[in-house]
Chains A and B, each alone.
Chain A
Amino acid sequence: DIISTVEFNYSGDLLATGDKGGRVVIFQREQENKSRPHSRGEYNVYSTFQSHEPEFDYLKSLEIEEKINKIRWLPQQNAAHFLLSTNDKTIKLWKISERDKRAEGYNLKDEDGRLRDPFRITALRVPILKPMDLMVEASPRRIFANAHTYHINSISVNSDHETYLSADDLRINLWHLEITDRSFNIVDIKPANMEELTEVITAAEFHPHQCNVFVYSSSKGTIRLCDMRSSALCDRHSKFFEEPEDPSSRSFFSEIISSISDVKFSHSGRYMMTRDYLSVKVWDLNMESRPVETHQVHEYLRSKLCSLYENDCIFDKFECCWNGSDSAIMTGSYNNFFRMFDRDTRRDVTLEASRESSKPRASLKPRKVCTGGKRRKDEISVDSLDFNKKILHTAWHPVDNVIAVAATNNLYIFQDKIN
């Protein structure tokens, strides 16, 4: 099924993917093993479960898709792992735990589980734990429902590890992980008269260290930073980030391509990154007037905007991610291409995630799109790009140079070459 979200956990040992069918598949990194050196760093399936089912809203006669929009891991506090997964309307907290031991020798029931006749019990014994084949169980621990009228596009766990936010097109709610029947609305941009609606919320995230700060991006290319200490309803932002428009490149599509599809804080918390249709921008939280860096993802598409509008590709929502040290950023493009930008060296590379162009354990070859004139041998021309092969979701391991790239219904995991 089509993968709709990819996320590493805090240690990077687990990688979760959500798909259009409401399923979550978790991969686990293999431990270093001297007898099998090749499998170091390989991710294998750890657990699979059905997170969301399709629902029907009888009041509006509309289906609620089971597609998983986002997965966010909670920091690990005990042996079990917890993650939040959400579709358009409902967020669920899942507990993933291992069971590798089984108790044998109960007094009141025999091995089949049938109750023993009390009169037949003549002696007491202490049950013994015996190893069994590893079983990974996923169970829903909380269901946070009925708080969103519009489609949820983001969830973000707070650094206090107790609360999280969920954002839909017009509102952002704050939840406590333990409480499912109540959430607090902290942002509401719904106009009194819906006919005046011109802007929606596209993404939201908590600051990685300051538990009172979060940001949300809009379809008009703006980012608002809010401080929850200032008031209960954060409709008034503390900071407003917007790059002034370049009047020379204005067209009817300017607003659409300025719409931000993803916003991510850097691990340091000093910067944030936004993805709009053609570029990735890095912002310094202390400077609202313009980004400190702008990286072009696929500028060659600028002359094709009308066609991309016609086939709806212009509305594709690409995500972006930082590497562990914030020195590099990555985002996807079309034709199964994805782009990585090194912020220090200012170099960028285009790579392809496809079976044909890469063999396992072979290095990826940089790709190049020919924008005009003579096409070189290895280049691909803009018109040959396959716009159905889009890489919307990518993730970077929090520590190592391991990346996960979702290409429609295939997941690719790449890592630095091991010597």
Chain B
Amino acid sequence: MFARGLKRKCVGHEEDVEGALAGLKTVSSYSLQRQSLLDMSLVKLQLCHMLVEPNLCRSVLIANTVRQIQEEMTQDGTWRAVAPQAAERAPLDRLVSTEILCRAAWGQEGAHPAPGLGDGHTQGPVSDLCPVTSAQAPRHPQSSAWEMDGPRENRGSFHKSLDQIFETLETKNPSCMEELFSDVDSPYYDLDTVLTGMMGGARSGPCEGLEGLAPATPAPSSSCKSDLGELDHVVEILVET
């Protein structure tokens, strides 16, 4: 799973955190699980059988689940990163094809991460990248990813660089789910190593108690600004290689 570090928390929020820690713990546990479920779903959408057409029913169901989570998170106003999970983070060397990630999304728009960035300087590039991503956001497909008829240049319906997925989420646009399925001319790359790292952290995390939880009422102290946790992580990947 992509890391969601404590450093993501908003400044000036600390008093609230301490005061309502107990309540927050349950809520943030739910949010964490929900986030994990979201990540898992996105990974599932990404995975495609290279040779055979993906199962449309399965894809539609997963996509609907993602939409549900997204709607709920939008209502909560929470895109924030939750809870220390840095330990589960996949080692960067296992995340492959950063060059391609670069090329696919950032390269064209001329966006590039600030040089010499380490773990402690993540606020800077985040704010720098914000306007860039919103400019990129509505990406017009040539044909829908569901579309099975008609020729396509790349194999499989759901080839997408990961940052495009997250970028789509960041726009928090109710219609951004549709963009998830837009077929883009992204180069084919092997997801296996990326996903191995991502899925490693997912074993026990999301699967405890999430099923029984009804969609949550808005968190009591969701005054946190929306956070770009995943985006940060991608930036770190880009920068460190």
The reply to whether A303 and B56 contact each other, CB–CB distance below 8 Å, is no
- B14 near A: Cβ within 8 Å? no
B-facing residues in A235-254 (Cβ within 8 Å) = 247-248, 250-253
The reply to whether A195 and B178 contact each other, CB–CB distance below 8 Å, is yes
- B119 near A: Cβ within 8 Å? no
The reply to whether A303 and B151 contact each other, CB–CB distance below 8 Å, is no
Per-position contact with A for B37-72: 1 when CB-CB < 8 Å, else 0? 100100010000001110111101101110011000
- B213 near A: Cβ within 8 Å? yes
**In whole Å, how far is A134's beta carbon from the nearest beta carbon of chain B?**
39
The reply to whether B60 and A219 contact each other, CB–CB distance below 8 Å, is yes
Interface size on B, residues (CB 8 A): 43
- A199 near B: Cβ within 8 Å? yes
The reply to whether B210 and A251 contact each other, CB–CB distance below 8 Å, is yes
The reply to whether A198 and B37 contact each other, CB–CB distance below 8 Å, is no
The reply to whether B68 and A252 contact each other, CB–CB distance below 8 Å, is yes
Per-position contact with B for A214-230: 1 when CB-CB < 8 Å, else 0? 00000100000000000
Taking CB atoms, residues of chain B closer than 8 Å to A248 are 214
- A1 near B: Cβ within 8 Å? no
- A145 near B: Cβ within 8 Å? no
Taking CB atoms, residues of chain A closer than 8 Å to B52 are 62-65
Taking CB atoms, residues of chain B closer than 8 Å to A306 are 37, 206-208, 210-211
Closest to A194 in B: B144
Question: What is the CA–CA distance of A235 and B148 in the complex, to the nearest angstrom?
Answer: 21
Interface size on A, residues (CB 8 A): 42
The reply to whether B155 and A62 contact each other, CB–CB distance below 8 Å, is yes
The reply to whether A169 and B214 contact each other, CB–CB distance below 8 Å, is no
- A61 near B: Cβ within 8 Å? yes
Stretch at the interface among A281-289, A307-315, A340-348: A307-315
- A200 near B: Cβ within 8 Å? yes
- B112 near A: Cβ within 8 Å? no
Question: What is the CA–CA distance of A62 and B53 in the complex, to the nearest angstrom?
Answer: 6
The reply to whether B148 and A256 contact each other, CB–CB distance below 8 Å, is no
Closest to B177 in A: A195
The reply to whether B151 and A60 contact each other, CB–CB distance below 8 Å, is yes
The verdict on A259 contacting B144 (CB below 8 Å), with A61-B155, A195-B178 known, is no
- A109 near B: Cβ within 8 Å? no
The verdict on A59 contacting B151 (CB below 8 Å), with A255-B61, A259-B57 known, is yes
- A302 near B: Cβ within 8 Å? yes
The verdict on A60 contacting B214 (CB below 8 Å), with A202-B57, A315-B61 known, is no
Taking CB atoms, residues of chain A closer than 8 Å to B44 are 312
Taking CB atoms, residues of chain A closer than 8 Å to B53 are 60, 62, 88, 151
Closest to A170 in B: B56
- A193 near B: Cβ within 8 Å? yes
Per-position contact with A for B168-186: 1 when CB-CB < 8 Å, else 0? 0000000000110110000
The verdict on A151 contacting B178 (CB below 8 Å), with A194-B146, A251-B211, A256-B61 known, is no
A-facing residues in B143-162 (Cβ within 8 Å) = 143-149, 151-152, 155
Question: What is the CA–CA distance of A65 and B52 in the complex, to the nearest angstrom?
Answer: 7
Per-position contact with A for B10-50: 1 when CB-CB < 8 Å, else 0? 00000000000000000000000010010010001000000
Closest to B37 in A: A252
Taking CB atoms, residues of chain B closer than 8 Å to A136 are none
| Option from B64, B207, B214 in Cβ contact (under 8 Å) with A251 | B214
The reply to whether A193 and B60 contact each other, CB–CB distance below 8 Å, is no
Question: What is the CA–CA distance of A198 and B181 in the complex, to the nearest angstrom?
Answer: 12
Question: What is the CA–CA distance of A196 and B182 in the complex, to the nearest angstrom?
Answer: 11
The reply to whether A200 and B155 contact each other, CB–CB distance below 8 Å, is no
**In whole Å, how far is A337's beta carbon from the nearest beta carbon of chain B?**
21
- B202 near A: Cβ within 8 Å? yes
**In whole Å, how far is B82's beta carbon from the nearest beta carbon of chain A?**
17
Residue of A193, A198, A307, A309 with most chain B CB atoms under a 10 A cut-off: A309
The reply to whether B55 and A315 contact each other, CB–CB distance below 8 Å, is yes
**In whole Å, how far is A47's beta carbon from the nearest beta carbon of chain B?**
28
| Option from B65, B148, B152, B178 in Cβ contact (under 8 Å) with A149 | B148
- A412 near B: Cβ within 8 Å? no
- A305 near B: Cβ within 8 Å? yes
Known: A194-B147, A255-B64, A306-B207. 17 other contacts (CB 8 A): A59-B151, A60-B148, A62-B51, A62-B52, A65-B52, A202-B57, A219-B60, A251-B212, A255-B61, A255-B68, A302-B211, A303-B212, A306-B37, A306-B208, A310-B40, A310-B202, A315-B58
State the 9 A-B residue pairs at the shortest beta-carbon distance, nearest first. A194-B144, A306-B207, A195-B178, A194-B146, A305-B211, A169-B56, A63-B51, A315-B58, A307-B207
Between-chain CB contacts (< 8 Å), 14 pairs: A202-B57, A247-B214, A250-B215, A251-B210, A252-B69, A253-B65, A255-B68, A256-B61, A256-B65, A302-B211, A303-B211, A304-B211, A305-B211, A315-B57
